[in-house]
Amino acid sequence: MALVTTKDMFAKAYDGGYAIGAFNVNNMEIVQGITEAAMDLNAPLILQVSKGARAYANHTYLMKLVEAAVEETGLPIALHLDHGDSFETCKSCIDGGFTSVMIDASSKPFAENIEITRKVVEYAHDKGVVVEAELGTLAGVEDEVNVSAEDSSYTKPEEVEEFVEKTGCDSLAIAIGTSHGAYKFKPGTKPQLRFDVLEEVSKRLPGFPIVLHGSSSVPQEFVEKINKFGGNMAGAVGVPEDQLRHAASLSVCKINIDSDLRLAMTASIREYMAEHPDHFDPRQYLKPARQAIKDMVAHKIVDVLGCNGKA
């Protein structure tokens, strides 16, 4: 089995009322934790790499780690560029073996977003690579782009048909109230995604795969563990998992999760180091950290995405 695109995955997910997890990878333990969970559950998988991940770990190292995971698991795995910020970044990933790229020109005016997305689509499709685009902006931080809550905006459903038609993109990320990072909603308020926007978009794009970014649920047990062992993540709040499950049963075919993996890994390492202050072999604390990622991903696959058994 070689790396695959998301085309078949999304067609089956759309019809089957489930979603594929897109998990961010930055090092070997993260790749292993995610892919071991997916293998145990026979789940299709998207591994995604941000510009920051490429700067941290190097394109070739990440590529080889993901190729190793494909070989070890035999699963259909797509390798995706998360939040490509320019044609050049997308081109570099397409030329470097990725099977899917996101061009995120969502902060640009509508016509400019169409123009740059169209250019990436032309290059990508020529090489058999699929493209995710975005309309509407999410609050939060990704690489050096920081979008404040006031500057974020929900996707306008009346724009989606023209956008998809003119760009030829293969999937569309929309803004319905999720945001990046661990601080998504004010503590004490009731988070509510805009399902009316999702429904309106889906009505206008029948059969077309929708993507949700910023979909970590920030489980409080991990926040509490981090706080217990010397951290401070007071006020961290995520998207309720029942709302993500509902989105997955509709037209949402890809759900992006990164912060929850960071939480699981960090909580595990903090706990381990607090309980073993004399240990200094990284394998000792990275082993339970990798297991914590595996457990988190298994939970997402079964309880949120519903893609277990679908590989």
Residues that bind ligand G3H (CB under 6 A): 24, 50, 52-53, 82-83, 142-143, 180, 258
CB 20 within 8 A of CB 44: yes
Partner whose binding site includes residue 52, from ligand 13P, Zn ion, ligand G3H, none (CB under 5 to 8 Å by kind): ligand G3H
What number of chain residues touch ligand 13P (CB under 6 A)? 14
Q: Torsion angle, CA of 218/57/135/154, rounded to 10 degrees?
A: 20
Partner whose binding site includes residue 143, from ligand G3H, Zn ion, ligand 13P, none (CB under 5 to 8 Å by kind): ligand G3H
For residues 51 and 279, what is the distance between their CA atoms, to the nearest angstrom?
Answer: 33
The answer to whether residue 259 forms part of the interface with ligand 13P (CB under 6 A) is yes
For residues 294 and 29, what is the distance between their CA atoms, to the nearest angstrom?
Answer: 10
Catalytic residue of the set 82, 85, 104, 260:
82
Told to judge if 303 belongs to the known catalytic residues of this protein, a careful annotator would answer no
For the chain, the C-alpha Rg in angstroms (whole number) is 19
Position among 257, 267, 296, 311 found at the interface with ligand 13P (CB under 6 A): 257
CB 160 within 8 A of CB 180: no
Q: How far apart are the first and last CA of the chain?
A: 12
The answer to whether residue 33 forms part of the interface with ligand 13P (CB under 6 A) is no
For residues 295 and 37, what is the distance between their CA atoms, to the nearest angstrom?
Answer: 7
Q: Give me the 199-238 binding string for ligand 13P, x by CB under 6 A, dash otherwise.
A: --------------xxxx----------------------
Q: Which is nearer to Zn ion, 213 or 270 (CB)?
A: 213
CB 76 within 8 A of CB 47: no
Residues that bind ligand 13P (CB under 6 A): 24, 82-83, 180-181, 213-216, 256-260
Catalytic residues: 82
